[in-house]
Structure 1
Amino acid sequence: MSGSSHYKPADAADRQKYISKDANGVITIKPRGLNVIWGADERYWKIDTKNDDSAAELVQVCWLEVTGEIQVKDYLEAKKEYKLIFNVELKPDAFGWKESPVHFMVKPGTRGRMWKRCYLGSSPKNTNKMDPFQASRDDKDPGLKFKVAEDAKTVYFGMFEIWNGTWKGGLKIINVEVKPV
């Protein structure tokens, strides 16, 4: 973690210890392996730096930006299709989500990005673990599908709500999964 108010894994080796791949090829990134804007300031986020398996809990922000990266050579295959899913949970006292669509992004190579938008607050059961893409009003297909570019060394991804300017809170990031399609 750096001296700023943003949470980042210390270095590439530190980031790698929060990424795992199971026998089915599902990659799981724990919250401590993500970059969280304002994440080192407990007024905005709670990130337990002593428990590797804990969720990252949003207290309140008006600028939501959570990003990560996966090294292709270690976890992915070029030209193969995957699905990115942020596994999140809204606490019963969550606020600001109905008015604030969240944008998810994947950059699977040197060119191009894929985006998907959803409203996390539109789910009637906001206290259960959910795939945020299933809560979307305008898209019923869960996840953000992408194909790893042939020349890709790193796949970048993120979760953003930086345009609306409204305060939001009560979000827990359980993990991020990347599944083969």
Structure 2
Amino acid sequence: MIIVTGVGFLRMNPVLTFDYSFKEIAELVAVCWLEVKGQFDCKLLSPGAAYSVSFRLKVHESPRGIIRNFGRRAMIPHMPRAYGWNRKPLKFSLTTPCGDHQIYARYLSDMDKPVETEGYQMAPFRHVEEGWMEFDAGRFVVEEKDDNPGDIEFCMREWEGGNWKGGLLLEGVKILPTSLVTERAE
């Protein structure tokens, strides 16, 4: 299950498929508070195997457009749709069934800008195709000893600054064996 919430304008009509990708891409037009969170039952995964959880995102630009502002139409001036991602880093987190919590962060406007001053480690990411990137939320190993190893919980968020931001496309969340992630990164 994945829940996408925010305060602002979200252009979304996502329908989830089994692999947690959307049949339609979610576009964050203008938000000041963003949270995408979900959980997954680990009994559907192979015991003893290591997995990586990543969010598939694209920061995109386009000419001005029309959005709905509290029922009224409003024109966005000609500017790149991607804006506001330079003030606070986007955070990615994973909580394992045993309670281990991993958290990473990355500025989307300047991928090389350090986040250590904010108290985080840099989120690993991969360019996958045509501007799409996969940002890691964390890695985990499915316990072999239980019939029901529990759920993982994952999250992507930015709400600390209350600053308006937009132009982020979310295709979905991937849970892949780490061996496949390593192969794809090379």
Per-residue deviation, 1:165 = 1.7
Aligned to 2:95: 107
2:105 to 117, 122, 128: 117
> After the TM superposition, which parts of structure 1 deviate over 6 Å for at least 4 consecutive aligned residues?
none
Match of 1:59 in 2: 29
Question: Which of 92, 96, 103 matches 2:84?
Answer: 96
The residue type equivalent to 1:130 in the other structure is M
AA of the residue aligned to 1:160: R
TM-score under structure 1 length normalisation: 0.64
1:172 CA drift (Å)? 0.6
Describe how 1:1-150 pairs up with structure 2 within 5 A: 15=1, 34-38=2-6, 44-48=9-13, 53-74=23-44, 76-92=45-61, 93-123=81-111, 128-131=131-134, 133=135, 144-149=138-143
Tell me if structure 2 keeps the 8 A contact 1:108–1:149: no
The one of 157, 160, 164 equivalent to 2:161 is: 164
Q: Conserved in 2, the CA contact under 8 Å of 1:56 and 1:173?
A: yes
Q: Partner amino acid for 2:46?
A: E
Q: Which amino acid aligns with 1:36?
A: V
Deviations 1:56-87 (A, max 9, x none): 1111111110001111112x234432111111
SS at match of 1:121: coil
Residue 164 and residue 154 in structure 1: after superposition, are their counterparts in 2 closer, same or farther (change >3 A)? same
TM-score by length of 2: 0.63
Q: Tell me the percent identity.
A: 30
Q: Give the CA deviation at 1:112.
A: 2.1
Moved more, 148-157 or 92-101: 148-157
Q: Match of 1:63, SS?
A: strand
1-side partners of 2:9 and 2:174: how far apart? Answer: 24
| Structure 1 residue 122: Cα displacement | 1.6
Partner of 1:54, secondary structure, is strand
Classify 1:50/1:105 alpha carbon distance in 2 versus 1 (closer, same or farther; 3 Å). Answer: closer
Contact kept in structure 2, 1:102 and 1:118, CA below 8 Å: yes
Post-superposition CA distance 1:29-52 (Å, at most 9, x none): xxxxx20113xx8x5211125795
Q: Give 1:37's aligned amino acid.
A: T
CA distance in 1, matches of 2:30, 2:143: 36
Query: What count of residue pairs does the alignment treat as equivalent?
Result: 135
Which structure shows the higher strand fraction?
2
Q: Which stretch shows the higher mean deviation, 110-119 or 77-86?
A: 77-86
Structure 1 unaligned spans of 5+: 1-14, 16-33, 134-141
RMSD: 2.7
Distance 1:177 1:99 in 2: 27
Summarize deviations over 1:120-143 as a string: whole Å, max 9, x none. Answer: 222599x81122x4xxxxxxxx66
Q: Distance in 2 between matches of 1:46 and 1:119?
A: 22
